[in-house]
Amino acid sequence: MRKIGVVVFPGTNCERDVFHILSDVLHIETEYIWHDRQDLDGFSGLVLPGGFSYGDRLRAGVIAAHSPIIHQVKKMAKDGVPVLGICNGFQILIESGLLPGALVKNERLNFVCKWIDAKVKNTTTPFTKLFQKNQQIWMPVAHGEGRYVADGLTIKRLRQKNQIVLSFLNENPNGSAESIAAICNPEGNVVGMMPHPERASEGVLSPVAACIDGSTFFRSLMHYLGEAYST
């Protein structure tokens, strides 16, 4: 039985959106996981949703990165379990050391909330398997600290090891280096992204021709897990 855990921290505010898409739309067994839980046996994948964990009191994601559950998240990531961090979840993965670089205030120092074009650069992760290479997709962003930055060597490694998963297309809404919108770890099972796929998974929410590009991230996960369980 494949079950996906949605990790909830104090201040998280997108967990219900993610749960709804996974459970009600795609009919995947899904369970909320409170941040102090340390027994994660039985979960085939994890999603760290967006929000303002701990109110971003020190720095976005930094307090949540020291929550008790993170030890288990790291262990599962090391064991190859798919882990997706969305927006604040991406910030938590960065702050916990599961992904390289940093996420800082947007270039213009304002909160950006809009639909954007992005290009799929890596189709080998559990969350992008059903996309085409360089496919253009449409999803919303909503963040104040989403500008990805890293030193030159890290950026070079990301390019060389195919760790840039998504890049902003036509417009870079936050000033990220290389127009980075999502990255993964070298193994590809841990992905962090600033766009919100859960907000682009139902046509009724899309302002453009019932676009549901976001659902492909979650359907890719189930496709991947189906392959993993059959081998």
Q: What angle do CA 99, 103, 109 make, to 5 degrees?
A: 170
The yes-or-no answer on residue 87 being catalytic is: yes
pLDDT of residue 204: 81
Q: What is the pLDDT of residue 71?
A: 96
Residue tagged active-site, from 14, 35, 87, 202: 87
Strand ranges for the chain from DSSP E? 3-8, 29-34, 45-48, 83-86, 102-104, 112-120, 136-143, 147-149, 164-169, 180-184, 190-193
Which pLDDT score, from 0 to 100, does residue 1 have? 59
The runs of H, that is alpha helices, within the chain are 15-19, 69-78, 88-95, 152-160, 215-230
| Torsion sign across C-alpha atoms 96, 108, 206, 54 | positive
> What span, in angstroms and rounded, lies between the C-alpha atoms of 49 and 73?
14
- The gap from C-alpha 100 to its chain's centroid, in whole angstroms, comes to 14
Could you say which of 184, 196, 202, 211 is catalytic?
A: 196
Averaged pLDDT in 10-residue chunks for the chain of 231 residues: 92 96 95 94 96 85 94 97 98 97 96 96 98 96 96 97 97 97 98 97 78 93 83 51
29 is catalytic: no
Question: What are the tokens at 28?
Answer: 């995947």
> According to the model, what pLDDT value does residue 230 have?
57
Q: What domains lie within the chain, and their CATH numbers? A: 3-230 (3.40.50.880)
Please give the pLDDT value at position 162.
98
Angle at 136 between CA 130 and CA 140, to 5 degrees: 95
pLDDT of residue 197: 97
| Predicted local distance difference test score (pLDDT) of residue 4 | 98
Known active-site residue 198: yes
* Residue among 98, 103, 110 nearest 87 (CA): 103
